[in-house]
Structure 1
Amino acid sequence: MTERVSEQRVFFALWPNAGLRASLSALARRMPANGRPVPAEHLHLTLAFPGTVTAGKVAEMVERTDALRLPQIRLVLEELGWFRRPRVAWVGPAQAEPELEALAVRLNELCRATGVAMEDRPFRPHVTLRRFVTRFESVSIEPLDWRPREMVLIESGQGGHPGPYRVLHSWVLSG
């Protein structure tokens, strides 16, 4: 049991500012889907999900990320979508920006370099707005312009178990 406490469930993400977070939360409440809206304080765009790892691996990932040059990114969140299998409704860009894709690839490689087994799936940038969705209708929305200022490493829960979010580290996207 003691070993479990030294584990952390973590992910790298772009973190919206308060204004965008309020707009995303409002969109989540009015989108044509059932399910439960994601709490405003949990809204983010995941770049890499190492999952449950030791505190030592977290420290190594932070150190390696400190050495990265983090690009400035501009996103236009303009498309609503639904992933049936995880049952989530989301908003995202119609097309991923090359800088965003490159950052996600670098972070996944960085995680692998620390010995973390990462899922091998295509990167589909999105902000999850609702969970437990079984009914979804795609409609046009007013695009949301997002110029993220920071990337964060989030701990989700405690002792490797899902739960509330806590920012462990942040980096400025400076170009």
Structure 2
Amino acid sequence: MADAAPTAARGVTRRVFFALWPDAATAAGLHARARALHTECGGRAMRRDTLHLTLAFLGNVPQDDITRLEHVAAEVRGAPFVLELDQLGAWHRNRILWTSASAAPQALVTLADALALRLREAGFVLEDRAFAPHITLVRNARAAPMAQTCPVLRWPVASFVLVASEPTPAGARYRVLRRWPLR
């Protein structure tokens, strides 16, 4: 019976991703934008505490690999930057409404590329698609937004995080596991 716990622990996984996590002011601005889009287009506005920009999605990772992920992330270097969110869009097939920057800062692209490279070198599997920086604001939208531009929301980015997605009856709950500063 003593061997049951270690065997069970090896099978435990966590659904994780690396992301940019907004400060309180940016989260409030993003949530206001989500509510406005919800009013215009229907669907389900994302909760304020779930708003983020995904840098690298890993999916279900064995619990034992979380420490290794943290070590990989600690090796990634990046400079702080300001993300100017001035664009709205829709993915019609998925019925998702999002916001993004019309011009992604080079520091953002460099950070995402460096993180993906380090993760792959460490043997982690990532989605095989181009990095498309965006923040999902509404799911199950009935229509696309009428405007494709919006007032600029300036997001000062000074760190990135590792997040666990934990299922609950009310939907996924995101928990920041660790943060790394950009210098």
TM-score normalised by the chain length of structure 2:
0.86
1:94-146 C-alpha deviation (Å, 9 max, x unpaired): 02111111111111222222322211111111111011124112413111011
The 1:87/1:111 distance shift into structure 2, 3 A limit, reads farther
The 1:27/1:102 distance shift into structure 2, 3 A limit, reads same
Q: What secondary structure does 1:99 align onto? A: helix
In the alignment, structure 1 residue 60 sits paired with structure 2 residue 68: yes
Report which structure shows greater RCO (CA 8 Å, sep ≥6): 1
1:24-45 C-alpha deviation (Å, 9 max, x unpaired): 1011011232210000000011
The 1:4/1:60 distance shift into structure 2, 3 A limit, reads closer
State how far apart, in whole Å, the 1-side matches of 2:28 and 2:177 are.
Answer: 23
Alignment match, 1:111: 119
Equivalent in 78, 93, 98 of residue 90 of structure 1: 98
AA aligned to 1:66 is A
State how far apart, in whole Å, the 2-side matches of 1:144 and 1:117 are.
Answer: 33
CA RMSD, aligned part only?
1.9
Equivalent in 8, 19, 26 of residue 20 of structure 1: 26
State how far apart, in whole Å, the 2-side matches of 1:144 and 1:7 are.
Answer: 36
Structure 2 gaps of 5+ residues are: 1-6
Equivalent in 162, 166, 181 of residue 172 of structure 1: 181
Alignment match, 1:135: 143
State how far apart, in whole Å, the 2-side matches of 1:98 and 1:127 are.
Answer: 18
In the alignment, structure 1 residue 145 sits paired with structure 2 residue 151: no
State how far apart, in whole Å, the 2-side matches of 1:119 and 1:10 are.
Answer: 13
Q: What secondary structure does 1:21 align onto? A: helix
State how far apart, in whole Å, the 1-side matches of 2:156 and 2:146 are.
Answer: 25
State how far apart, in whole Å, the 1-side matches of 2:124 and 2:142 are.
Answer: 32
Alignment match, 1:50: 58
CA contact (8 A) 2:17 2:163 kept: yes
- Tell me the percent identity: 36
Alignment match, 2:108: 100
AA aligned to 2:180 is W
State how far apart, in whole Å, the 1-side matches of 2:89 and 2:15 are.
Answer: 26
Deviation at 1:57, TM superposition (A): 2.2
Deviation at 1:3, TM superposition (A): 5.2
